Amino acid sequence: MAFTLPPLPYAANALEPHISQRTLEFHHGKHHDAYVKKLNELIEGKPYAKLSLEDIILQAAPKREDRAIFNNAAQVWNHSFFWNCMQPNGGGEPRGDIAKRLRESFGTHGDFRRTFTEAAVGQFGSGWAWLVLKNGKVDIVTTPDAFNPLVAGDAPLLTCDVWEHAYYLDYQNRRQAFVEAFLDHLVNWDFVSKQLIEAETRSAREAPARAAAGRR
Ligand code: FE2
């Protein structure tokens, strides 16, 4: 069963003026679509074709000879996740448990905003900035190129695409302005909260198995 390009969860002009319709149409309709098509081409007739996207990422990650499969699978996953991390009239300070967890890890919302922005701007070249659940705490990491935190065993909660194709038409070289617009106006905190709940539920379910493995 070939992978398909998931539709955007909102209209292509819904994130204006922070991300233009032109950017979203290129980013989703051309870049994301190209990763889906290339992935299907690369896995056709191989055992990978029977796996879920997550399993392709995890199995291909350590194999040098499957780097193209890994890159395209991870970029398909990362982009689908990124679209869901945004919504019109989003961003700003979250409420509820996620707000408490951000405070525990980073301090005030301003501290979180500064730390995330510095990480995203500091990622040299193409890549992604992430909020993850790492060893039971929320943390910020960046990854180069197609890499994503699943490979390191961290649970992604939020991501910002900092490849130039994500912002160049709207912001040219001003990556910081794009990241600030993302944080202040676009983040879908309900989606992030849901990722946190799911990651903690998964972690609690897997804890007995991990403990048993450790005793052997
Ligand atoms: Fe992208």
The architecture CATH gives domain 21-84: Orthogonal Bundle (1.10)
Quick check: 216 pLDDT over 70? no
What is the per-residue pLDDT for 214?
64
Q: Tell me, what's the pLDDT at 191? A: 98
Q: Is the pLDDT of residue 215 over 60?
A: no
Q: What is the mean pLDDT of residues 115-120?
A: 98
Residue 128 phi/psi, 5° resolution?
Answer: -140, 145
Q: Mean pLDDT of all residues in the chain?
A: 96
Global model pTM greater than 0.85: yes
Question: Which residues face 132 on adjacent strands?
Answer: 139, 156
Distance (angstroms) between ligand 1 centre and the Cα of 54 equals 18
Max Cα separation, the chain?
Answer: 56
Place of tokens 């992030």: 192
How far, in Å, from the CA of 212 to the mean position of ligand 1?
40
Superfamily (CATH) of domain 96-210: Iron/manganese superoxide dismutase, C-terminal domain (3.55.40.20)
pLDDT of residue 179: 98
pLDDT digits (tens, 9 = 90+) for 45-72: 999 999 999 999 999 999 999 999 999 9
Separation CA 205–CA 203 (nearest Å): 5
Question: Cα of 205 to ligand 1 centre, how many Å?
Answer: 33
Compute the distance from residue 215 Cα to the ligand 1 centre, in Å.
43
Q: How far is the CA of 162 from the centre of ligand 1 (A)?
A: 7
Instruction: Indicate the domain borders of the chain.
Output: 21-84, 96-210
Q: From start to end of the chain, where are the E strands? A: 127-134, 137-144, 155-161
Please calculate the CA angle 169-40-199 and round it to the nearest 5 degrees: 75
Tell how far the Cα of 166 is from the centroid of ligand 1, in angstroms.
5
